[in-house]
Structure 1
């Protein structure tokens, strides 16, 4: 990685910290705090949330026919996602242990907390559970895949990649044959030295 790339990476880290501080200030404005993965709302805020909840009948009446008819198609995807979840978890349990790669902890990526929001009816809460699981699962799988790529092929592509994973920017440049032969084991050792669980962005859980 060049000095310029290192400087840009450091700037990204600085901006992420600044963003986290701004998010924390926004939490206080919205009247909630996070303590040991448990969300707590101020009493008045929780009452207002319950007042804003839409009843099931009204919710369905406002939904388009297309939304109602496509809902079973959307939810049918839960079956392949469950299979992928189990298969990828088995993969890292077997292969990561064999390679000495720290395993990815699912709870760092999959969070179930939105159903506790009082302004959601049970259909909206179910939708949030589904979306939280699927998007969290994709992030979980992506982290497993990125560790696999760092172990076996830490090389950038010649073509531009949209939204690459967080490890990609440190990979070797495309065409750097000497670097690949000289540094592949370094990438593997660095990966193996990572902690078992990542908690850079702990996810909340609990009730209002």
Structure 2
């Protein structure tokens, strides 16, 4: 009975996510049509709205400028983490027969093309797109790994859960874990890359 309620909630969440995705896609399509129709007008507007680089630097609070190196230095361990996690899935996922996670589904680099951003804003958008996309990519690799090796929910409530967590077994449910673990692994193996 409890599982039925959870399954119903998960189904409603998935339906809402699908509806949201449809709405976002329609908004994107409308925006694309608008760009096509009003390209020159839009480009002129972008040029007008772009903040001059000198003005941008002069009006930025000094503490923001001083904190920039702290933000950017995190890029080095992120790239190393990206390399190691990618190598991990290239080596281990074929052994476990798990479909590999596609980086391009998570790391989307496109905001730097917006004409209303100055070069520093574009660089910052590039950083955020990479870093946040990387976190999603790593989270999905970790989620697939967890589903394969340890698909058990935590006893405590989590602030954020990954895409596969709702299929995991209840904390302390040894019978279903032993009986259903093979099925969860089989689901992973049947997914396409």
Q: Is 1:18 aligned with 2:19?
A: yes
Distance 1:11 1:25 in 2: 21
Partner SS for 1:32: helix
Distance 2:71 2:140 in 1: 25
Greater helix content: 2
Q: Is the 8 A contact 1:32 1:42 kept in 2?
A: no
Q: Is 1:7 aligned with 2:8?
A: yes
Q: Which residue of 2 aligns with 1:114?
A: 111
Q: Is the 8 A contact 1:88 1:141 kept in 2?
A: yes
Q: For the structure 1 residues 41 and 102, does the alpha-carbon distance in structure 2 shift closer, same or farther, using more than 3 Å as the test?
A: farther
Distance 1:109 1:49 in 2: 27
Alpha-carbon shift at residue 41 of structure 1 (Å): 7.8
Q: For the structure 1 residues 194 and 41, does the alpha-carbon distance in structure 2 shift closer, same or farther, using more than 3 Å as the test?
A: farther
Q: Is 1:176 aligned with 2:173?
A: yes
Alpha-carbon shift at residue 152 of structure 1 (Å): 0.3
How many residue pairs were aligned? 190
Q: Which residue of 2 aligns with 1:193?
A: 190
Q: Is 1:99 aligned with 2:96?
A: yes
State the Cα deviation string for residues 74-98 of structure 1 (Å, max 9, x = none): 1111110010000000000001111
5+ residue gaps, structure 1, are 34-38, 197-208
> Which structure 1 residue ranges, 4+ long, deviate > 4 Å from structure 2?
none
Distance 1:178 1:23 in 2: 42
Q: Which residue of 1 aligns with 2:32?
A: 32
Alpha-carbon shift at residue 184 of structure 1 (Å): 1.0
Q: Which residue of 2 aligns with 1:86?
A: 83
Partner SS for 2:87: helix
Distance 1:111 1:41 in 2: 25
Q: 2:159 aligns with which of 162, 177, 183?
A: 162
The normalised TM-score by structure 1 is 0.86
Partner SS for 2:63: helix
Q: For the structure 1 residues 42 and 194, does the alpha-carbon distance in structure 2 shift closer, same or farther, using more than 3 Å as the test?
A: farther
Q: Which residue of 2 aligns with 1:58?
A: 55
Distance 2:112 2:167 in 1: 38
Distance 1:153 1:85 in 2: 23
5+ residue gaps, structure 2, are none
